[in-house]
Amino acid sequence: MSDTNSNEGGPSRVTRSDVARLAGVSTATVSYVLNGGPKKVSQATELRVREAAEELGYHPNLIARALKSGSAKMLGMIITDFSNPYFAQLINDVEQLANEREHVLILNTSHGSSELERRRIDELTDRGVDAIFVSSTLEDGEIGSLSTASCPIILLDRPHPLSGVKCVSTDMADAVVRSVRHLFEHGRRKVAMLFGLDITSRDARVVGWIKAHQDAGRPVGPVYTSSYSREGGYKATLKALRSSDRPDAIFASSDLEALGALRAIHECGLRIPEDIALISFDGTIESEYTWPRLTVMKQDTQTIARCAVNAALSPADTPDLQLVDAEMVIRQSCGCRDESSEVRP
């Protein structure tokens, strides 16, 4: 297929033939240089080709290249909220790894809307991306029907297997179990949970919450719906603190909810951790600059990104479900000595 594209009445697009003519080489040699192979050329020849391409302003026809190679060298990503610092870090890590694999990352947000998410998936599929990463609001059955061999979907933050789809997630249930157990070990007896969705959700964090209490032989503590937001965490914590059975510890299912909780606790005149302990799930950069500093279950975004990119570009070599362990980072809000602030030789 030719990469010439002339517009009547306007300038013609520079072609490989133009570059070859200026560099004094064949069009095949131009392709070898700009595509990185398959045949090697001398350094002198490569330099002439690149200088000619730059002088003429030559840009390869990416659509033609995609049709010829069977790969658009593009990956799509749909997340629910660009402002969430967890997603910001994950996007950064995925983009860096995609770039190392010579792929461009196209970003979209669903704003938590199932309808908009479906539309974004269709749009990215029409663009011919090689795969789509999705932090999804859709039900499992619908996601499975949307994924196709030509445009596979890699689900993020979905810690259970789903037929026909690759899933990559932190082991959320284990992270919550360890967090609640840590609070129990500090002698806390009334632990509440801030959770973005309704308690009836099948979310692994709820599964871990229930298991932690069952393992300790205790009744399951209250769960306050907090919409994964600062405002939601603030309002939910005020509700918990004003209840007749005030908790002496809180597990927040995201850093954003924990930030809201911190404000509510301070406004109520309570001390952290003396009066109420707090542990958060995510471990984003914001958790390092609160007062007191938050003890967190930190998600390993670099490993999550690497697993996701491998699932997209090397699916035969990756399992259908990849769970990544969270790391407990001990600071002040749980009642421990802040290990992360100690000066080490």
Same domain, 98 and 236: no
Same domain, 193 and 290: yes
Token pair in block for residue 58: 């030559």
Same domain, 162 and 245: no
Total structural domains within the chain = 3
99: number of Cβ within 10 Å: 11
Same domain, 161 and 195: no
Same domain, 131 and 280: no
Same domain, 112 and 87: yes
Q: What is the pLDDT of residue 58?
A: 80
Instruction: Indicate whether 1 belongs to any domain.
Output: no
Consecutive 10-residue averages of pLDDT for the chain (345 residues) = 45 76 86 72 89 82 52 88 94 97 94 91 87 91 72 92 92 98 97 89 89 97 95 98 96 98 98 98 96 97 98 95 98 85 47
Q: What is the pLDDT of residues 304-315, one digit of tens each?
A: 999 999 999 999
Q: Report the CATH number at residue 94.
A: 3.40.50.2300
Q: What is the pLDDT of residue 72?
A: 67
Same domain, 21 and 97: no
Same domain, 63 and 148: no
Range of the domain at 84: 73-170+301-324
Instruction: Indicate whether 288 belongs to any domain.
Output: yes
